[in-house]
Amino acid sequence: MNTPAPVTGPATMAPPPDTQDQPKFAGRRAALLISTLLLGVLSFQLNASMVTPALPQIAASFGLSPDSAAPVQSMFFLAGAIAGPVIGRWSDFIGRRAALLLVLGIMGAGTLLCIAAPTLPLLTAGRFLQGVSSAVFALAYIVLSENLQARVFGTSVGIIAAINGGVGGLDGYVGGLMAETLGFRSIFVVVLVLTAIAAGCIVKTVPKGRPQGVRGAMDWWGAGSLSVFLVFVTYFVSGGSAAGWTAPSTLALLAGTVASFAAFWMIEKKRSHPLIATRHLRSRQVWPVIATTVLGLAGIFAVINFTVVLLSQDTVHGFGLSASVSALLFLTPAALIGVFAAPLAGWLADRRGWIKTLRAGTGLSLASAIAAASFSDNQVAVMIAVASLGIFYNGFFLTAINGLSVLLSPKEAPAALPGINGASFGIGASLGVVIVAPFAAQATSAGYATALWISVAITALAFIVSLFVAAPKGEKL
Same domain, residue pair 85 and 202? yes
Would residue 187 count as lying in a domain? yes
In angstroms, rounded to a whole number, what is the distance separating the alpha carbons of residues 33 and 26?
10
Same domain, residue pair 314 and 410? yes
Q: How would you write the pLDDT of the chain (477 residues) with one tens digit per residue?
A: 333 333 333 333 333 444 445 567 778 888 899 999 999 998 888 888 788 778 778 888 888 876 677 788 888 888 888 898 999 999 999 999 999 999 999 999 999 999 999 999 999 999 999 999 889 989 999 999 889 888 888 899 998 888 766 665 677 778 778 888 888 899 999 999 999 999 999 999 999 877 777 778 899 999 999 999 999 998 888 777 667 788 888 899 999 999 999 999 999 998 888 888 889 888 989 999 999 999 999 999 989 888 888 898 888 888 988 877 877 888 888 888 888 899 999 999 988 899 999 999 999 999 999 999 999 999 999 999 999 999 999 999 999 999 999 999 988 888 889 999 988 988 888 888 888 888 888 889 999 999 999 999 999 999 999 999 998 877 766
Beta-carbon contacts of residue 241 (< 8 Å; ≥ 6 apart): 433, 434, 437
Count how many Cα atoms sit within 13 Å of the Cα of residue 199 in the half-sphere of its side chain: 17
Give the CA diameter of the chain.
81
Q: Note down the domain range covering 145.
A: 21-214
Distances in Å between the Cα of 471 and the Cα atoms of 207, 242, 366, 468 are 29, 40, 22, 9
Among 239, 254, 270, residue at a domain's last position: 270
Same domain, residue pair 108 and 135? yes
pLDDT in the model for residue 3: 38
Would residue 4 count as lying in a domain? no
In angstroms, rounded to a whole number, what is the distance separating the alpha carbons of residues 88 and 80?
11
Contact between residue 189 and residue 115 where contact means Cβ atoms under 8 Å apart: yes
Would residue 14 count as lying in a domain? no
Same domain, residue pair 59 and 149? yes
CATH number at residue 49: 1.20.1250.20
β partners of residue 148? 25
Same domain, residue pair 376 and 311? yes
Same domain, residue pair 234 and 358? no
Vertex 390, ends 136 and 342: CA angle to 5°? 50
Same domain, residue pair 243 and 260? yes
Vertex 225, ends 221 and 228: CA angle to 5°? 145
Contact between residue 409 and residue 416 where contact means Cβ atoms under 8 Å apart: yes
pLDDT in the model for residue 286: 92
Chain-centroid distance of CA 38 in Å reads: 14
Contact between residue 371 and residue 246 where contact means Cβ atoms under 8 Å apart: no
Would residue 3 count as lying in a domain? no
Would residue 299 count as lying in a domain? yes
In angstroms, rounded to a whole number, what is the distance separating the alpha carbons of residues 412 and 170?
40
Count Cβ atoms below 10 Å from residue 220 Cβ, excluding itself: 11
Beta-carbon contacts of residue 167 (< 8 Å; ≥ 6 apart): 42, 45, 46, 49, 335, 339
Count how many Cα atoms sit within 13 Å of the Cα of residue 261 in the half-sphere of its side chain: 10
Distances in Å between the Cα of 355 and the Cα atoms of 289, 350, 358, 470, 472 are 11, 10, 5, 8, 8
Burial of 60 (0-12, 13-18, 19+ CB in 10 A): middle
Contact between residue 313 and residue 321 where contact means Cβ atoms under 8 Å apart: yes
Give which of 263, 269, 296, 286 is closest to 431, Cα–Cα: 296
Same domain, residue pair 431 and 292? yes
Phi and psi dihedrals of 50, rounded to 5? -75, -25
Same domain, residue pair 194 and 59? yes
> What is the value of pTM for the model shown?
0.84
Count of domains observed in the chain: 3
Would residue 471 count as lying in a domain? no
Sign of CA dihedral 91, 93, 97, 100: negative
Would residue 64 count as lying in a domain? yes
pLDDT in the model for residue 14: 36
In angstroms, rounded to a whole number, what is the distance separating the alpha carbons of residues 452 and 437?
10
Same domain, residue pair 147 and 290? no
Same domain, residue pair 303 and 252? no
pLDDT in the model for residue 226: 92
Distances in Å between the Cα of 400 and the Cα atoms of 94, 158, 366, 407, 471 are 27, 8, 16, 10, 12
Same domain, residue pair 170 and 296? no
